[in-house]
Amino acid sequence: MLSKIRPMTIGSAIRIGGVNPSDVNALLVYLEIQHRIAAKLNKSKRFKKHEKAIPSLEIT
């Protein structure tokens, strides 16, 4: 049902006939996992970007 209607908000998804609260809960869990994965990837990209910008010190 959600794939046909594609609501823009979670509130809209809850109001669709035939959508169970457990369906919405599964959607929220999926979105949270995707958000955490994206945040982790962005953090690692920022670290690598700064890692290249910092010159290494050579001690002889």
Q: What is the CATH number of the domain that holds 43?
A: 1.10.150
Domain containing 10 equals 2-53
User: Residue 49: inside a domain, yes or no?
Assistant: yes
22: amino acid identity, one letter:
S
pTM of the predicted structure, to 2 decimals: 0.60
User: Residue 24: inside a domain, yes or no?
Assistant: yes
User: Residue 21: inside a domain, yes or no?
Assistant: yes
| Contact status, residue 28 vs residue 10, Cβ threshold 8 Å | yes
User: Residue 58: inside a domain, yes or no?
Assistant: no
Taking only the tens place, the pLDDT of each residue in 3-50 is: 788 888 889 988 998 989 998 999 899 999 999 999 988 877 766 655
Q: How many domains does the chain have?
A: 1
Taking only the tens place, the pLDDT of each residue in 38-47 is: 998 887 776 6
User: Residue 59: inside a domain, yes or no?
Assistant: no
